[in-house]
Structure 1
Amino acid sequence: MRQQPPVRKPEVMSPAGYWPQLRAAVEAGADSVYFGLKHFSARAKVGFTLTELPSVMRELHTRGVRGYVTFNTLVFEHEIAGAADAIAAIVDAGADALIMQDYGMVRLARQIAPGMEFHASTQMSITDAAGVRQAQELGVQRVTLARELALTEVRSIIEQTSCDLEIFVHGALCVAYSGQCFSSEAWGGRSANRGQCAQACRLPYEMLVDGRLEPLADARYLLSPGDLYGLRQVPEIVSMGVSAMKIEGRYKDADYVALATAAYRKAVDEAAAGRKLSITPVEELQLEQVYSRGSGPYFLTGTNHQTVVKGRAPRHRGVCIGKVTKVSPDSVTIQTAPAHKIAPVKPGDGLVFDAASWRSPEEPEEGGRIFQSLPNLDGSLELKFGNNAVRFTRIHPGDLVWRTHDPALERVAKPYLEPAAPAARQSIHIRVTAAEGAPLVTEWHLIAHPEISTTVISPESIERAQNRGLTKDFLHEQFSRLGNTPYTLKSIELTCTGTPFAASSLLNRLRREAVEQLQAQQVNRPPLEVNQPKPLVEAALRQATAEEPASLEPQLHLLVRTPEQLEAALELTPASITLDYLDLYGLRPSVEKVKTAGIAVRVASPRILKPGEARITNFLLSLECPLVIRSTGILHELKQQPHSDLIGDFSLNTANSLTASAYFELGLSRLTPTHDLNADQVARLARTAGAARIEVVAYQHLPVFHTEHCVFCRFLSTGTTYKDCGRPCETHTVALKDPSGRAHPVMADVGCRNTVFGAEAQEASSFIDQWQEAGIRHFRLEFVHESAGQVREVTLAFQSYLKGESTSAQLAAELKRIAPQGVTQGSLFVPPDYLALPILQ
């Protein structure tokens, strides 16, 4: 019978906002820690300074922990030189890997530090094997997969690729695919792709179905998911060969990091050893208590749209400990939940009363700390609070009661936060060779890091024992005295010749020398080659700068999403019509209709493809027309075979000329810049990357969220997936109304993924003159819920401007009149201070 290879134990990878979290992660047993610097990180509010980084890496390496720097934002053109210098400094400081999002910067970073390890951030939106292979070709050694994948899909990707793969197992879920959320940029000028997420997904929304308000009971926060909890899936994950299990939470405190890390450390070790998961109900409640919006495995175990978003609340809830049954003038009586039996309610606990069934989202919640907890004969509890701590008139029978803070958790976390000695130690195996009349030889090996070892030899030969010879027990007694060092003695192997003797003073000296040498090896690693960034940046920018062809007449491209919009578009004879339909397989007749009209036809690909959806790529190819590409995985598959023109869309997140150049080399003929660029940056990109190869969106409802979660299925059916939801997306129009009264349209795509579009029409009339001066000639208009008449009016307004029959000011006035919910500059808005930046050539 063939012996199975040993299970590869995945890294437990923990977040660190700053020193307390980093140290908590190390003490709790993290194999690796990821953290950001103050710039170029997707969590802009936390991180270390560049000058602190060498100290960070020394502390981590002393403990045998790897440190990954999150350099996972898009880089703007004027930042390229500074980003390159930062990459060189990060490598010099000894970081183990860089986690990156920006395609162009990964290519540049490989030139700066050829021997560095690079990881693809989840911001790259990689969801299939083709996307992984594309990242590998870019030079990435590890890919962080999207959080929306089921473990069966992860397993499929592992089987089809040779790349190290990392998955999230715990912590907050974004409702949108990472890298595909533009809500913060559109509504506040704060790019999520730049680490400035404003969490618009956590706002309350109302649902409009066919223009009417849909009653949703206590569901108010329709885009606010619960938190991922994959602890019970650890045995399956370990068996699959995943390289790393990632805990989310660079904004979380040290208690959260410590408890989450310790739980997953324990679970991984048990699973790798073939033991049953021993997590207790108390430990599970502790994880929920320290931070949770309601937890579950969610997408890890497959899609169930009824579970991901409950919608009662958007923030930390902790543990549900009961429901209000009676409100008195000075106390509240609750019927306790099962959690109370595991972790009883007690004085000092912080509670919040969840009144989602009657309270409006704008009203603050009521809550406070318990002063007294009095049990009643019927099993209920009477809770009393300090004077004026709670307004009892704002509490009602039926309200849920959550414990948001348990002071007892501080005692549980304290050993990791204030250890008397290192809690997580590195195991050592020692080989000892002892012979009479020869030096004593000791070989010290770190078990988890076999490349780290040292040999320490006694300066003089040892003698024959007069009474008791050297034994393994005596060696263990002396060598295990490792005190506050980061090591622990696991095992000793002794080979003796004769009956040698060694004094305890000699053994202690050898032990001290060995520890010093092991620590020196861990901290003083051979430096990686780092090339001077400046000449590489200059060469890359020269290569990325395109020579301008002869000027073209302005070209207007229309993107439509309904048959009615298509009929209007055909009458207007634009340069091209792009079809972006829910029913992908119903496209062929529409494609033929556009071709028959003598107009160039294009089809938009989905933004996300998962394992098992490769047939979609084959179908797109069979249409034999240009394609608007929204996924690097699709791009990788298409470049392998003959195809029509490929136009890269905004979702490829092209923010600078280096990334544009990388995509052009992959076969794109034109591309649309990321919506993270403002209008002035778009013009600058056109000047460097080649204006003839840039296609801008001059009118659209910005796609602010792109999400696996289907609001049609969740709120208009009792089904769990497309198989049993009844497909309400095909018969109803839906919009989400925000607290300001704006109604944001929602549409589903072929994969049943939802896109939430901005309510106002984002239009470029204020910048279109500048764009034309920059040489841009390809302008796209995109329609969502517009009627055929509105499609006609908007298009005619732009055609009039591009023909020189009207001014940009007249275009602005006309669009303002047409747009039903108003117009906005949205992501195109140019902050006044941005105009001072130099144009880079």
Structure 2
Amino acid sequence: MLRPRIKPEVMSPVGGFPQLKAAVEAGADAVFFGVNPVRGAGRADGAGFHARAKVGFDMEALPEIMRGLHARGVQGFVTFNVLVFDRELRDAERQLMALAEAGVDALIVQDHGVARLAHQICPDLPIHGSTQMSITSAEGAEHARRFGASRVVLGRELSLRDIERIAAQTDIELETFVHGALCVSYSGQCFSSEAWGGRSANRGQCAQACRLPYDLLVDGEYRDLGDARYLLSPGDLYALHQVPELVRIGVNCLKIEGRYKDAEFVALTTAAYRQAVDEAWAGQPLSITPQQEQDLEQVYSRGLAPHFMAGTNHQTVVRGRAPRHRGVRVGTVRGVTERGVLAELSEPLKPGDGLVFDPANWRAPEGREEGGFLYGLWHNGQQVGDVRAGGVYELRFGRGAVDGSRVRVGDPVWRTHDPGLNARVKPLIEASDPVYTRPVSARFVGHVGQPPQLTLTDEAGRSFTARLPEPLSPARNRALDEANLREQLGKLGGTGYHLSDLKVDLRGEGFLPVSALNGLRREGVDGLTALRAQTPSRRIERVLDVVAADSPTVQGEPRLHVLVRTPEQLDAALAEAPDSITLDYLELYGLKPSVERVKATGIDVRVASPRILKPTEQNLQKFLLSLEAGILVRSGGLLEGLQNAGQTELTGDFSLNAANVLTARALLNLGLDRLTPTHDLNAQQITELAGLVGPERLEVIAYGHLPVFHTEHCVFCRFLSDGTDYTNCGHPCESHRVALRDERGRTHPVMADVGCRNTVFEGRPQIAAPHLKDWLAAGLRNLRLEFVHESPETVREVIRAHRAFLNAAIGTPELEVILSGLSDGGTTEGSLFVPHDFGMLDALPVV
């Protein structure tokens, strides 16, 4: 599919008014931000419907913000990028209507049902599928289009070649991140905050568990990783040098991450990517200076690199030495003196610079690092001002600022603060007049005897014509000419415009005073600005109805569905004869014999698909269909590709993130026989959802390990090989068992899938035992038991215990005791826990 050549937008993150000003003055084409709810229209926890709860704008200020942005030629995109619960749908509808009325240019949405709801409320309001939709293929993009999206934000794990393949297969608008923090987990597929803190990353409450230290256990033994304890903490994305390729491919928008960053970060990153896009579009080489690049590293960096965009190299994505901002490395410690620290410098330093001595926190368990603001530099006992690279200098700090006993020879020295950077960025963040200007073309018509007029046209084709009331007089001395008009009409300083083109239509030799010409120019500028700032006229309507949830009809006996991950677990499951068995193997192509074994017993068999499918992995769909088994569908892209799958039984998994009735019904209408709700729902919310969609349409997980991280980064390759990817790593995932041990001493198994993606599982099984009676009373009959690292005997015991409970041979307390005794670390309710104040609602919204 040939995509039209288009100059991509530069989109900047905005957490408040200083960042908003910085983005506009640095040349952003668009900004994205969250909006706090109108009174009485927020989430159940009182927060807004966006994933950065600590920053954003109040709804009351939004109309004026949008007018100001549009006047400067900048689009404003609002993040509505959280999963929305059934209890919140009415408030979400009110918020969506208010956003549409305020004139926002697009909504960035994660929840599929909410995306469709927003499109129904206001068909004229563009919907952008968030990166939290985990879109990594053209099929995934088309799936988002079904729900109203006109643009999708691609996963940050895609290479340039992947992006190009997607661009060739779909005409939907594509947006990709080019700078900022990377999540180790695929966005929308991280449940670590949910598992370990009761707070959902899909609800904007990320606890950043990926930035914590972990021990690596290989085959049960501790593996010393040296200074790489932060083995799930990636470096930051830096794709400035990939901009020409992204322009060539036809990506519509380049996005900078960082709504929690300050104005300096926004200004510097926006200006750099603005320059890169302009130069690439003009066919010019990138002319970013070394100082500009160093400033980008200085303002905020965990280590900048293109990472996955440049191709997979698992040795570089996660360095693992530290999880936080480092800035620029300026030297290495060579010794400690009575008054300071000796360092061999690789970069110039000056008094006032903020420095930190990096011991790697494996030697400082409490996380404290030594550092402070530099007081002065000494060389051979003399204070010096000029510092040359390669020299060894004594760095001195204020009294008590640095404990020399905690600084070691060989420690890197980082500059975390550079006062000079503040001076360089100040013009962008403190300017009183517009810094970045947009082009306008002008047409002046001056016919003697008729009122002169000036038409200004902006880059979007909007025009405004200003006219003088009096006719143009004949010239007595110097007549109007093009040079004179260009000089006066080009005086657009302080307006946010610059004159890009002038056409002149003169008849007769006319004269116009400079004051009149200036007045005509000012009237034209004011009129065009007012025209640009107008709020768009949109058709907006309420579409949700509110009805009571139906009482469930209890039918049939409960069914146990078992998911296994090894042939040994399969043997155990077959011995217990559950109602179905799902095979979730590392090696998909070894599935066929196991499928045939299950079929031979008369037990229903399913195969689990990967949660991520990239453009080169679409042949997996054909393979899965060739097995003639049911399919556990784990991605929207695969669901899209299976729309003509015939009689194949399809079950949607938790990773489709169905959190409400709108999403659940829409997914079920795409050919799913049953659907597993997202792990973001607690047990009572699952019960309520069952009442809305029908309990027979849900399959709930009664026993399993929460998949806390699902990541493109391969721990096996990084730490058990010297390879860069699956082609040269030696596949240690096939011969070793790996687990991560957290700071509490709990171990969490790591498993790889067919695409070499890793899943880190919560070590303790999450059980639904305290809620099974309520689920059964609500009509839920399809219960799934999922196994990760359990032994065959444990598999059998877990199945037997649940069967005994369903047969009323044991009660809830006995089931909980049995399950807890089968796990070394005990069990957890995890995401199913229901707070004591979580009451039922009398009515829930449905469509």
Give the structure-2-normalised TM-score. Answer: 0.96
> In structure 2, what is the equivalent of residue 431 of structure 1?
443
Q: Which amino acid aligns with 1:683?
A: T
> In structure 1, what is the equivalent of residue 604 of structure 2?
600
> In structure 2, what is the equivalent of residue 690 of structure 1?
694
For residues 578 and 495 of structure 2, what CA distance do their matches in structure 1 show?
A: 72
> In structure 1, what is the equivalent of residue 299 of structure 2?
290
> In structure 2, what is the equivalent of residue 803 of structure 1?
807
How far is the alpha carbon of 1:249 from its aligned partner? Answer: 0.1
For residues 755 and 365 of structure 2, what CA distance do their matches in structure 1 show?
A: 32
Aligned equivalent of 2:34, options 36, 43, 54: 36
For residues 362 and 620 of structure 2, what CA distance do their matches in structure 1 show?
A: 45
Q: Which amino acid aligns with 1:129?
A: A
Q: Which amino acid aligns with 2:448?
A: E
For residues 697 and 6 of structure 1, what CA distance do their matches in structure 2 show?
A: 46
> In structure 1, what is the equivalent of residue 525 of structure 2?
515
Q: Deviations over 1:706-736 (max 9, x none)?
A: 0000000000000000000000000000000
Structure 2 residue 418 is matched with structure 1 residue 395? no
Structure 2 residue 497 is matched with structure 1 residue 497? no
For residues 785 and 647 of structure 1, what CA distance do their matches in structure 2 show?
A: 23
Q: Which amino acid aligns with 2:748?
A: H
> In structure 2, what is the equivalent of residue 16 of structure 1?
14
For residues 250 and 18 of structure 1, what CA distance do their matches in structure 2 show?
A: 8
> In structure 1, what is the equivalent of residue 733 of structure 2?
729
For residues 436 and 260 of structure 1, what CA distance do their matches in structure 2 show?
A: 51
Match runs of 1:582-661 below 5 Å: 582-661=586-665
Q: Which amino acid aligns with 1:631?
A: S
Contact 1:548 1:692 in 2 (8 A): no
Match runs of 1:667-686 below 5 Å: 667-686=671-690
Q: Which amino acid aligns with 1:26?
A: V
Relative distance call for 1:638 and 1:546 in structure 2 (3 A) is: farther
For residues 361 and 465 of structure 2, what CA distance do their matches in structure 1 show?
A: 69
How far is the alpha carbon of 1:835 from its aligned partner? Answer: 2.7
Number of residue pairs aligned between Structure 1 and Structure 2: 825
How far is the alpha carbon of 1:106 from its aligned partner? Answer: 1.2
Contact 1:444 1:455 in 2 (8 A): yes
For residues 640 and 413 of structure 1, what CA distance do their matches in structure 2 show?
A: 55
Structure 2 residue 110 is matched with structure 1 residue 110? no
Relative distance call for 1:828 and 1:432 in structure 2 (3 A) is: same
For residues 799 and 528 of structure 1, what CA distance do their matches in structure 2 show?
A: 56
Aligned equivalent of 1:417, options 419, 425, 429: 429
For residues 3 and 637 of structure 2, what CA distance do their matches in structure 1 show?
A: 31
Aligned equivalent of 2:372, options 358, 368, 373: 368
How far is the alpha carbon of 1:834 from its aligned partner? Answer: 1.9
* SS of aligned partner of 1:812: helix
> In structure 2, what is the equivalent of residue 465 of structure 1?
475
How far is the alpha carbon of 1:505 from its aligned partner? Answer: 2.1
How far is the alpha carbon of 1:495 from its aligned partner? Answer: 2.3
Aligned equivalent of 2:141, options 127, 132, 135: 132
> In structure 2, what is the equivalent of residue 181 of structure 1?
190
Q: Which amino acid aligns with 1:496?
A: L
For residues 575 and 831 of structure 2, what CA distance do their matches in structure 1 show?
A: 30
Q: Which amino acid aligns with 1:132?
A: A
Match runs of 1:232-251 below 5 Å: 232-251=241-260
Structure 2 residue 786 is matched with structure 1 residue 782? yes
Structure 2 residue 59 is matched with structure 1 residue 55? no
> In structure 2, what is the equivalent of residue 831 of structure 1?
835
> In structure 2, what is the equivalent of residue 538 of structure 1?
545
Relative distance call for 1:309 and 1:361 in structure 2 (3 A) is: farther
For residues 700 and 526 of structure 1, what CA distance do their matches in structure 2 show?
A: 49
RMSD over aligned CA atoms reads: 1.6
> In structure 2, what is the equivalent of residue 449 of structure 1?
460
Aligned equivalent of 2:94, options 85, 91, 105: 85
Relative distance call for 1:569 and 1:427 in structure 2 (3 A) is: same
Q: Deviations over 1:742-766 (max 9, x none)?
A: 1100000000000000011111111
Deviates more, 1:633-642 or 1:155-164: 633-642
How far is the alpha carbon of 1:374 from its aligned partner? Answer: 2.4
> In structure 2, what is the equivalent of residue 190 of structure 1?
199
Aligned equivalent of 2:233, options 220, 224, 231: 224
Contact 1:134 1:633 in 2 (8 A): yes
How far is the alpha carbon of 1:547 from its aligned partner? Answer: 8.4
Name structure 1 gaps, 5 residues minimum: none
* SS of aligned partner of 2:435: coil
Aligned equivalent of 1:156, options 149, 165, 169: 165
Structure 2 residue 715 is matched with structure 1 residue 705? no
* SS of aligned partner of 2:769: coil
For residues 68 and 342 of structure 2, what CA distance do their matches in structure 1 show?
A: 50
For residues 256 and 361 of structure 2, what CA distance do their matches in structure 1 show?
A: 33
Relative distance call for 1:137 and 1:357 in structure 2 (3 A) is: closer
* SS of aligned partner of 1:747: strand
How far is the alpha carbon of 1:358 from its aligned partner? Answer: 5.7
How far is the alpha carbon of 1:223 from its aligned partner? Answer: 0.3
* SS of aligned partner of 1:372: strand
How far is the alpha carbon of 1:67 from its aligned partner? Answer: 0.1
* SS of aligned partner of 1:99: strand
* SS of aligned partner of 1:324: strand
Q: Which amino acid aligns with 1:407?
A: P
Q: Which amino acid aligns with 2:545?
A: E
Aligned equivalent of 2:583, options 569, 579, 587: 579
Q: Which amino acid aligns with 2:163?
A: V
For residues 666 and 273 of structure 2, what CA distance do their matches in structure 1 show?
A: 38
For residues 754 and 55 of structure 1, what CA distance do their matches in structure 2 show?
A: 46
Contact 2:454 2:521 in 1 (8 A): no
Q: Deviations over 1:668-687 (max 9, x none)?
A: 11100000111111111111
How far is the alpha carbon of 1:329 from its aligned partner? Answer: 1.9
* SS of aligned partner of 2:329: strand
For residues 340 and 685 of structure 2, what CA distance do their matches in structure 1 show?
A: 59
Structure 2 residue 143 is matched with structure 1 residue 144? no
Name structure 2 gaps, 5 residues minimum: 37-47, 381-387
Contact 1:58 1:523 in 2 (8 A): yes
How far is the alpha carbon of 1:491 from its aligned partner? Answer: 2.5
Contact 1:546 1:689 in 2 (8 A): no
Q: Deviations over 1:416-437 (max 9, x none)?
A: 1110310011111101122222
For residues 399 and 526 of structure 1, what CA distance do their matches in structure 2 show?
A: 57
> In structure 2, what is the equivalent of residue 476 of structure 1?
486
Relative distance call for 1:7 and 1:161 in structure 2 (3 A) is: closer
Contact 1:217 1:357 in 2 (8 A): no
For residues 52 and 840 of structure 2, what CA distance do their matches in structure 1 show?
A: 26
For residues 137 and 647 of structure 2, what CA distance do their matches in structure 1 show?
A: 21
How far is the alpha carbon of 1:348 from its aligned partner? Answer: 0.9
How far is the alpha carbon of 1:582 from its aligned partner? Answer: 0.4
How far is the alpha carbon of 1:664 from its aligned partner? Answer: 1.0
> In structure 2, what is the equivalent of residue 98 of structure 1?
107
* SS of aligned partner of 1:459: coil
For residues 548 and 152 of structure 1, what CA distance do their matches in structure 2 show?
A: 49
> In structure 1, what is the equivalent of residue 452 of structure 2?
440
Match runs of 1:371-386 below 5 Å: 371-375=375-379, 379-386=391-398
Instruction: Quote the sequence identity (%).
Output: 56
For residues 809 and 843 of structure 2, what CA distance do their matches in structure 1 show?
A: 31
For residues 225 and 433 of structure 1, what CA distance do their matches in structure 2 show?
A: 60
Contact 2:361 2:367 in 1 (8 A): no
